[in-house]
Amino acid sequence: MSMDPKKDPREEALFRAVEELLAGGPVFPEPAERSRLREAAGVTQAGLARVLETSTQTVKNWESGRSEPRPPRRAPYLALLEGWAKKYPAPRTAGAPATDSPAPPAPAAVPPETPSEQPVVAAAPRPSTTRPTSAPRRPTATARKTPAKPAAAGADPRFANGPLAVITVEDGAVFAYCVGGLVLDVPATSLPALVEWTLAEARLGAPRLDGSGRDADPLLVLTPAALGYYGLPVELTDEERLAGRLPADHKAIAQIEAAEWQLTRRGLGPWARIYRPAQGGRRLCVQLCIPSWRALDVRSWGHAAELPPAELARVLGLYASRVITPRGSTAVTGLELMTSLHPPTRASAADAEGRRHSVHNPGSLGKDPMDPPPCEAVDGHPVLADLPRFHVRGPEEKVFEEAFDWARELTDAECMAPHLVGIDVNMAFGAGANGAVVGLATPPVHVPRPAFDPAVPGSWLVDLSHVDLSRVLVGKQWTQLKGELLPSPFTPSGETPTGPAWYATPTVAYAVELGYDVTPIEAWLRPDAGRYLDAWYKRLRDAYIATMADLGVGEKLSPAEYLAAMDGYKHRDPEAAIVLDAIKGTVKFGLGKLREKARGGNWRPGQPWPALARPTWRPDIRDTVISRTRTGMHRKMVALAAATGRYPVAVLSDCAVYAAQGPSPLDVLPYTAAGKTIPGSFRIGVSPGMVKHEGTRTPLWAEQLREQTQDPLLNLARYIKTGGTTGPDSGE
Sign of CA dihedral 243, 271, 57, 148: negative
- Between residues 692 and 171, which one has the greater pLDDT? 692
In a domain, 67, yes or no: yes
- Note whether 472 and 506 are same-domain residues: yes
Segments of 646-726 assigned E as strands? 650-652, 655-660, 691-697
- Note whether 115 and 197 are same-domain residues: no
Q: Is residue 510 predicted with pLDDT exceeding 80?
A: yes
In a domain, 277, yes or no: yes
- Note whether 50 and 195 are same-domain residues: no
Q: Residue 201: which domain range?
A: 143-149+157-325
Q: CA-to-CA distance for 162 and 154, rounded, in angstroms?
A: 14
- Note whether 131 and 193 are same-domain residues: no
Segment 397-420 shows an average pLDDT of 97
Q: Is residue 509 predicted with pLDDT exceeding 60?
A: yes
- Note whether 41 and 183 are same-domain residues: no
In a domain, 225, yes or no: yes
- Between residues 354 and 649, which one has the greater pLDDT? 649
- Note whether 304 and 390 are same-domain residues: no
pLDDT over 90, % of the chain = 73
Q: CA-to-CA distance for 481 and 553, rounded, in angstroms?
A: 36
Q: Is residue 115 predicted with pLDDT exceeding 80?
A: no
- Note whether 226 and 317 are same-domain residues: yes
Segment 472-491 shows an average pLDDT of 96
- Note whether 87 and 222 are same-domain residues: no
Contacts of residue 429, Cβ cutoff 8 Å, sequence gap at least 6: 587, 588, 591, 625, 626, 629, 654, 732
Segment 186-193 shows an average pLDDT of 96
C-alpha dist (Å) from residue 342 to 335, 367, 561, 621: 11, 11, 38, 15
In this prediction, residue 522 has a pLDDT band, given cuts at 50, 70 and 90, of very high
Task: Please tell me the predicted confidence (pLDDT) of residue 129.
Answer: 30
Segment 651-671 shows an average pLDDT of 97
C-alpha dist (Å) from residue 266 to 195, 248, 391, 591, 695: 18, 11, 33, 22, 42
In a domain, 21, yes or no: yes
Q: Is residue 571 predicted with pLDDT exceeding 70?
A: yes
In this prediction, residue 726 has a pLDDT band, given cuts at 50, 70 and 90, of low
Q: Is residue 97 predicted with pLDDT exceeding 70?
A: no
User: Considering the chain, what is the average pLDDT of its residues?
Assistant: 88
Contacts of residue 558, Cβ cutoff 8 Å, sequence gap at least 6: 675
pLDDT digits (tens, 9 = 90+) for 269-320: 999 999 999 877 788 999 999 999 999 999 999 999 999 999 999 999 999 9
Q: CA-to-CA distance for 34 and 57, rounded, in angstroms?
A: 15
Which residues face 284 on adjacent strands? 276
Segment 15-39 shows an average pLDDT of 70
For 79-97, give one letter per residue: b (16+ CB within 10 A) or e. ebbbebbeeeeeeeeeeee
pLDDT digits (tens, 9 = 90+) for 456-472: 999 999 999 999 999 99
pLDDT digits (tens, 9 = 90+) for 413-437: 999 999 999 999 999 999 999 999 9
- Note whether 493 and 381 are same-domain residues: yes
Give the end of a domain, one of 479, 498, 530.
530
- Note whether 115 and 173 are same-domain residues: no
Q: Is residue 42 predicted with pLDDT exceeding 90?
A: no
pLDDT digits (tens, 9 = 90+) for 165-188: 999 999 899 999 999 999 999 999
- Note whether 248 and 288 are same-domain residues: yes
Q: CA-to-CA distance for 377 and 617, rounded, in angstroms?
A: 11
pLDDT digits (tens, 9 = 90+) for 662-681: 999 999 999 988 888 999 99
pLDDT over 70, % of the chain = 87
Q: Name the residue among 351, 390, 341, 366 with its Cα closest to residue 539.
A: 341
- Note whether 186 and 285 are same-domain residues: yes
- Between residues 720 and 141, which one has the greater pLDDT? 720
Q: Name the residue among 227, 273, 269 with its Cα closest to residue 244.
A: 269
In a domain, 198, yes or no: yes
Segment 608-630 shows an average pLDDT of 97
Q: CA-to-CA distance for 677 and 663, rounded, in angstroms?
A: 18
Cβ-defined contacts of 77-82 (< 8 Å, 24+): 77/52, 78/26, 78/28, 78/132, 79/131, 79/132, 81/28, 81/29, 81/34, 81/37
In this prediction, residue 58 has a pLDDT band, given cuts at 50, 70 and 90, of confident
pLDDT digits (tens, 9 = 90+) for 308-351: 999 999 999 999 999 999 999 999 999 999 999 999 999 988 88
Which of the listed ranges 604-608, 633-637, 673-677 does the model predict with the highest average pLDDT?
Answer: 633-637
Number of domains in the chain: 3
In a domain, 586, yes or no: no
> Largest alpha-carbon pair distance within the chain?
100
Q: What is the full DSSP assignment across 551-596?
A: TT--TT--HHHHHHHTTTGGGS-HHHHHHHHHHHHHHHHHHHHTTP
Give the end of a domain, one of 505, 530, 555.
530
In a domain, 535, yes or no: no
- Between residues 33 and 97, which one has the greater pLDDT? 33
Segment 510-533 shows an average pLDDT of 97
Task: Tell me the Cα Rg of the chain.
Answer: 30
In a domain, 188, yes or no: yes
C-alpha dist (Å) from residue 702 to 486, 550, 716, 723: 19, 36, 7, 9
Q: CA-to-CA distance for 407 and 648, rounded, in angstroms?
A: 8
Please check whether residue 715 is in contact with residue 405, taking contact to mean a CB–CB distance below 8 angstroms.
yes
Which of the listed ranges 29-33, 132-136, 457-461 does the model predict with the highest average pLDDT?
Answer: 457-461
In this prediction, residue 148 has a pLDDT band, given cuts at 50, 70 and 90, of very low
Give the end of a domain, one of 485, 515, 530.
530
